[in-house]
Amino acid sequence: MSPTSGYHLVDGISMLHQQEQDYNPWFEEQYSATAEPWNYSRRGGELFRHAHTIELLRRFCPHPSSLLELGCSQGLMTAQLVPFTKELFASDVSPSAVKICKRKCDPLAAQHNCSMHYYVTTTPGLPFADDSFEVVTLCDGMIGWWFSEEQKQAALKDTYRVLRKGGYVMFTDYATPDVFDSYIQLIQNSELSVVSVSYLYDRPWYLLESVVKKLPGKALLSPIVASPKVAKLLHKAGGMVGTAAARHILIIARKE
Stretch that binds ligand SAM, among 9-17, 89-97, 110-118, 189-197 (CB under 6 A): 89-97
Residue 27 touches ligand SAM, criterion: CB under 6 A: yes
Residue 75 touches ligand SAM, criterion: CB under 6 A: no
Binds ligand SAM by CB under 6 A, chosen from 14, 85, 96, 122: 122
The CB density around residue 106, as the number of other CB atoms within 10 Å, is 15
Shortest separation between residue 72's beta carbon and ligand SAM, angstroms:
6
Residue 89 touches ligand SAM, criterion: CB under 6 A: no
Residue 140 touches ligand SAM, criterion: CB under 6 A: yes
Residue 124 touches ligand SAM, criterion: CB under 6 A: no
Residue 70 touches ligand SAM, criterion: CB under 6 A: yes
Stretch that binds ligand SAM, among 69-77, 108-116, 178-186, 197-205 (CB under 6 A): 69-77
Q: Which is nearer to ligand SAM, 35 or 219 (CB)?
A: 35
106/117 Cα distance (integer angstroms): 10
* CB contact set of 150 (below 8 Å; sequence gap of 6+): none
Residue 169 touches ligand SAM, criterion: CB under 6 A: no
The CB density around residue 39, as the number of other CB atoms within 10 Å, is 12
Decide if 117 contacts 88 (C-beta within 8 A). yes
Torsion sign over Cα 37, 153, 15, 171: positive
CA distances from 215 to 43, 44, 209, 220, 221 (A): 17, 18, 10, 10, 9
Which SS3 state, helix, strand or coil, does residue 224 take?
helix
17/19 Cα distance (integer angstroms): 6
Binds ligand SAM by CB under 6 A, chosen from 14, 94, 159, 190: 94
Q: Which is nearer to ligand SAM, 66 or 94 (CB)?
A: 94
Which SS3 state, helix, strand or coil, does residue 124 take?
coil
Stretch that binds ligand SAM, among 60-68, 93-101, 176-184, 233-241 (CB under 6 A): 93-101
With vertex at residue 154, the alpha carbon angle to CA 151 and CA 159, rounded to the nearest 5 degrees, is 120
Stretch that binds ligand SAM, among 57-65, 79-87, 92-100, 238-246 (CB under 6 A): 92-100
- Mind spelling out the 3-state secondary structure of 70-118? ECCCCCHHHHHHHHHCCEEEEEECCHHHHHHHHHHHHHHHHHHCCEEEE
Residue 73 touches ligand SAM, criterion: CB under 6 A: yes
Shortest separation between residue 53's beta carbon and ligand SAM, angstroms:
7
Residue 77 touches ligand SAM, criterion: CB under 6 A: yes
Contacts with ligand SAM by CB under 6 A lie at: 24, 27, 38, 40, 70-71, 73, 77, 92-94, 97, 122, 139-140, 144-145
